[in-house]
Amino acid sequence: MELQEQQQAVFMPRIGDNAPEFTAKTTQGDINFPSDYTGQWTILFSHPADFTPVCTSEFMTFAVMHEDFKKANCELIGLSIDGLYSHIAWLRTIKEKIEYKGMKDVEVNFPLIEDISMNVAKKYGMIQPGESTTQAVRAVFFIDPKGIIRTILYYPLSTGRNFKEIYRTLIALQTSDEFNVATPADWEPGDDVIISPAGSCGVAKERMDDTEELDCKDWFFCTKKLDKDLVLDTLIKK
Ligand code: BEZ
């Protein structure tokens, strides 16, 4: 591989960057990313190859959860370094033949990008040569309604992703934006949230004194209640 090609192959977008732009053919028609998705969240994810077992289990799981993501104003977009006809044949096989963990007759209705040229995969650091030079790793990009990358997850070829964690992360990001709070370890809607750190000695004292709304373990670690129904009613379409 030429040096320039190698550098391109390992280019890694970062949290806070604008999502790299691209146009692509997908199983749901052509897309212009991210402009076609302005105003909604997207989860852009890659998988190593069509017609492989871990990827099949992942696609079935994501497809079953697709409605939940849509209700949270989020569209899913898959990608692998395969052609459109391979994608179509694989998705037909999943629907017609594969039964797994109680899931069957599963239709994948979100777009799956053909990326034989690796154009998109290279822009998103999905080719990680130490793992494979011909297959994308299992990358997950959370992109917000303004087209900014907000979270990135990478998994190796051998390890299927946890889709409940992907959904939890989306809701946590939206909760932080909507309510101006941070979310602690393992947070789920209904759990207490963390308020931004005190920026002065005065605020630190006020916080320690406010025992009604806040629960301060110490001046730098204050939580407050955030009602589960308020979070869900705000973020999830009925
Ligand atoms: C799979 O999805 O099963 C898989 C794909 C590439 C390498 C290993 C496993």
| Residue 70 clears pLDDT 60, i.e. is over it | yes
Among 46, 55, 60, 86, which is best to mutate for testing ligand 1, by the most ligand atoms less than 8 A from CB?
55
| Residue 3 clears pLDDT 70, i.e. is over it | no
pTM over 0.75: yes
SS3 assignment, position 92: helix
pLDDT in tens, 204-231: 898 899 889 999 999 999 999 999 999 9
Buried b (16+ CB within 10 A) or exposed e, 108-143: bebbbbbbeebebbbbbbbbbeebeeebbbbbbbbb
| Residue 5 clears pLDDT 80, i.e. is over it | no
SS3 assignment, position 228: helix
Mean pLDDT, rounded, for 113-141: 97
> Quick one: 170 exposed, middle or buried, by C-beta within 10 A (0-12, 13-18, 19+)?
buried
Per CATH, domain 2-161 is 3.40.30.10 = yes
Mean pLDDT, rounded, for 185-201: 94
Distance of CA 137 to the CA centre of its chain: 14
59 C-alpha to ligand 1 centroid (Å) = 13
SS3 assignment, position 219: coil
**What does the angle CA 88 – CA 28 – CA 17 come to, to the nearest 5 degrees?**
115
Please report the pLDDT score of residue 4 as a whole number: 58
Please report the pLDDT score of residue 233 as a whole number: 98
pLDDT in tens, 17-65: 999 999 999 999 999 999 999 999 999 999 999 999 999 999 999 999 9
CA–CA separation, 87 and 77 (whole Å) = 13
Mean pLDDT across the chain, nearest whole number?
95
Cis peptide before 34 (omega within 30 of 0): yes
Residue with tokens 């053909």: 114
Q: What residues are in contact with ligand 1 under a 6 Å CB criterion?
A: 48-49, 52-55, 135, 157-158
Q: Which helix (H) or strand (E) holds 232?
A: helix 228-235
Position 187 confidence tier, pLDDT thresholds 50, 70, 90: very high
| Residue 9 clears pLDDT 60, i.e. is over it | no
Per CATH, domain 180-235 is 3.40.50.1100 = no
Catalytic residue list contains 55 = yes
63 C-alpha to ligand 1 centroid (Å) = 18
CA–CA separation, 170 and 76 (whole Å) = 12
- Which residues in the chain are classed under CATH 3.40.30.10? 2-161
CA–CA separation, 1 and 195 (whole Å) = 49
62: left (phi over 0), alpha (psi -120 to 50) or beta: alpha
Q: Point out which residues pair with 221 in neighbouring strands.
A: 218
- Which residues in the chain are classed under CATH 3.30.1020.10? 180-235
